[in-house]
Amino acid sequence: MTFYQRYVLEEFCSMYDIEMATIQELINQKRLQLTDKSGSFFSSENVRPELLTWINCLDRQIPVLFTDNNDLPVIEIRNDSVCLNFDIIGSAFYFLSGWQEIKSTVRDTHGRYPFKESLQYELNITEIPVVNYYFHILKDALQKALGTQFALRKHIPNAIQVCLSHDIDKINSGWLEGGFSELKKGSYGSAFSLLLNKLFGKDPWDNISEILALELTLNVPSTFFFLPSKGNGNADYRINQVLPSFEEIIAVKSEVALHGSLGSAHSSDNLNKEIDQFSKKIQGNRFHFLKYEPRTVGTTLDAVNIRYDGSFGFAEHVGFRHGVCHPFHPFNPDTSTRHSFLEIPLSIMDTTLSFASYMLHDEQKNSKVDRVISEAEKFNGIVSILWHNNYFSNYKYTGWKDRYIQLVTRLKNKNAIFYTHESLADIYNA
C-alpha cells in the first residue's frame, strides 16, 4: 500500500465505522481492488495532474484525476472482486493533502497560496467537497465487498455541524476607521459622536460583550481568536486589555483561542510564546490573515501543545480548500503520515464576501454560500463561519451584523448543531 493510499484510508476510517485492518484484509484477499493511475506523480515535483475526467456521484458531476477516459463504470464486480475503475484514492489524496499547495512555489503578496492557482478554481468546484464524494464511492465499494453496510462513526452527529468564530483583530480603531467612513458619507455629526464616545466612553469595536449578548439570544456558542501581538499588521491592542473578556466568554460556554500573529506559523518557539501570554489553557489556533506556509505549518503546529487549527480556508472564496467538509488530520510531507493536530477547515468568512478583490462583486456569491451549506448538510459535515468583531458594528460595516444573524438563523432552521471549535475537536478526536 502506498503512503498516499494509507493516508486517505486512515482519514476515511476516522470518519466511517470501519477499521483499517478490515480494509487491508479485503485488499489482500482481492475482494477489493483499488485502481492506482497516478504512477510516479506523488513521488515527483509535479503540481497538476495532466489528465482528468468527470463522473457522476449523487447526481453531481465530480472530477477524477489521472485519466481522461470515463467509459467504465465507477464500481464493477469482476470475478467476485469489487473493482474501483477510477483512481478515487489518488484523487482524494491530491485535494485532502493540499498537494498543489505543497508543490507550488507561487504565493500572493501576503505569502499565501493563491486561490486562483488552485485546481478548484480552474474546475469551478470550490463549493463542492469532492473528497466527501470520493469517500461516498469508496464506502459503496467497501459495503459491496463486505456484504454489509456501515455508517459514519457514532460520535459524529447525524446533522450539519456549525462552528461560529470571531477573529479579534481591532478593538481600538472603530472611532478612527468608522469616523472616516462617516465623513466620506457626509455624516459629520455621527463622526463627531464617535470621537466623543472614544474620549468619554469606549470604542465601537470594543464589542465582545455585545457579541456575547447577541449569541445568547440566538442560543449559540462561538470561539473568539485573540491576537497576542500588537502592531506591524497584527492587533491594535495588547493582550492585557482583553483578559477581562476571557471569563465573560467562558461563562457563557464560548471559547477563547489563539489568533497566531503574522510570522508565527514559521516558528513553534514564537507560537509557544504567544500561547503563554494567555491566562487559560489554549486548545486551538487560527493564523492572522490565514497566513501560513503549507509545506511547514503542520510541523510548527505539531511542535506546540495545540489540539486543533482553524486556518485552512481560502481568503478569496467561500468553500472547501482541501475538498472536505469534515475535520481532518493534515498530511505531513516530511514523514508521509498524518499530523497530530486536527484541522477544522474554514468555510465562510465575512471579508471574503465584502472585499472588492475577493467576492464583493461576484453576482453569484449568495448562491455559492447556499451551496457550501447544502453540500455540508448532504454529508452531515461542518460549516465553519468567521465573522470579525468589527463586522458587528454600525460604523463602516453597516448591515453585516444582520447578515450574520440571518446566516445563523438559516442554519438553526436546518436543525444544525452549534459547537465551539474546542467541543467539535473533542468529538472528532474521540
Ordered by where they begin, the domains of the chain are 3-146 (no CATH), 161-171+206-428 (3.20.20.370)
The rounded distance, in Å, linking the Cα atoms of 179 and 187 is: 9
Q: What is the mean pLDDT of the chain?
A: 95
Residue 157, number of CB atoms within 10 A of its CB: 15
User: What b/e string do you get for 298-312 counting C-beta neighbours within 10 Å, with b at 16 or more?
Assistant: bbbbeebebbbbbbb
Q: Which three cell numbers stand for residue 44?
A: 515527483
pLDDT tens readout for residues 193-210? 666 666 557 899 999 999
- Phi, psi of 35, deg, nearest 5: -85, 130
Longest Cα–Cα distance in the chain: 81
Please name the amino acid found at residue 202: K
The three-point CA angle 376-333-311 to 5° equals: 40
- What does the DSSP assignment read for 295-345? TTHHHHHHTTT-SEE---S-SSSSS-TTS-SS-B--EETTTTEE-SSEE--
Q: Which pLDDT score is estimated for 305?
A: 83
Element (H, E) at 60: strand 60-65
C-alpha cell at 215: 449569541
* Helix, strand, coil percent values for the chain (each to nearest 5): 40, 15, 45
Determine contact, residues 167/284, Cβ cutoff 8 Å. Answer: no
Nearest one of 88, 90, 75 to 140, comparing CA atoms: 75
pTM: 0.96
Q: What would the pLDDT profile of 288-335 be if each residue is shown by its tens digit?
A: 999 999 999 999 999 998 999 999 999 999 999 999 999 999 999 999
Residues 349, 311 contacting (CB under 8 angstroms): no
**Would you state the pLDDT for residue 174?**
83
Cα distance between residue 225 and residue 166, in whole Å:
6
Which regions of the chain are under pLDDT 70? 175, 178-200
> CA Rg, the chain, in Å?
23
Count CB neighbours of 295 within 10 A.
Answer: 16
State the DSSP code for 77. E
Start-to-end C-alpha separation, the chain? 26
Which grid coordinates are listed for 203? 470604542
Interior CA angle at 284 toward 282 and 286, to 5°?
125
Among 168, 176, 174, residue whose Cα is nearest residue 204: 174
- Nearest of 146, 25, 18, 22 to residue 80 by alpha carbon: 146
Residue among 340, 313, 309 nearest 424 (CA): 309
For residues 102-120, one letter each, b for 16 or more C-beta atoms within 10 angstroms of the residue's C-beta and e for the rest, the string is: bbbeeeeeeebbbbebbbb
**Structure-block grid coordinates of residue 105:** 512555489
Residues 6+ apart with CB under 8 A from 12: 18, 135, 138, 139
Angstrom distance (rounded) from CA 97 to CA 123:
18
